[in-house]
Amino acid sequence: MNERTVAITRLFDAPREHVFAAWTRAEHLAHWFGPKRFTVPSCQSDPRPGGAFRVCVRSPEGQDYWIRGVFRVLVAPERLVISCTADDEKGIARLEEVIDVTFAEQGGKTKLTLLVTANGLNTEAAAMLEGMPKTWAQTVDRLDAHLAPKP
């Protein structure tokens, strides 16, 4: 079994309640979750301990990637931990991830610390693990754009 960990720290020019809501509410997740040029055609989020998390991210080529999981820890607006599985097009698990996010108030801004640990469950997962640093960096960039004030 292959394993990969990605750690990202970013300062957002937004109150932590807004950043936390962007991570937990489907109407926000649908606008930013996933790497650049990906879309989110389906998103369900039940932000409470034990609540379900299910997102479909679609590549620019039209390939759907399903992520299903459970909120393990949810302390608004300080921390959340999501255990999730990335499935292939047949619904077979390819990757298991634990997404651990902390939100710290910093002078009206939010310091986000993201720690993602993933385990590959089959040979197809190797490419996903290899691309994790890039895809998570792009995902956090999209969150930043989502949180930016709109003119």
Contact 36, 143 (CB under 8 A): no
How far is residue 77's CA from residue 58's CA, in Å, rounded to a whole number? 28
Report the pLDDT value the prediction gives residue 88, as an integer from 0 to 100. Answer: 77
pLDDT at 61 over 80: yes
| pLDDT over 80 at 80, yes or no | yes
Residue 149: what pLDDT?
A: 82
CA distances from 49 to 45, 86, 129 (A): 11, 20, 27
Q: 105-136, pLDDT tens digit by residue? A: 999 999 999 999 999 998 888 888 999 999 99
Residue 150 in this model has a pLDDT that exceeds 80: no
**Angle subtended at Cα 42 by Cα 17 and Cα 6, rounded to the nearest 5 degrees:** 60
Determine the average pLDDT of the residues in 61-82.
96
Task: Give the up-direction half-sphere exposure of residue 35: CA atoms within 13 A in the CB hemisphere.
Answer: 13
Domains of the chain: 3-145 (3.30.530.20)
Is a pLDDT exceeding 80 seen at residue 55? yes
Residue 8 pLDDT greater than 90, yes or no: yes
Which has the minimum average pLDDT: 5-19, 31-45, 61-75, 78-92? 78-92
- CA distances (Å), origin 6, targets 1, 9, 98: 17, 10, 11
Residue 42 above 80 pLDDT? yes
Determine the residue type at 144.
Answer: D
Residue type at 36? K
Tell whether the model's pLDDT for residue 10 goes beyond 60: yes
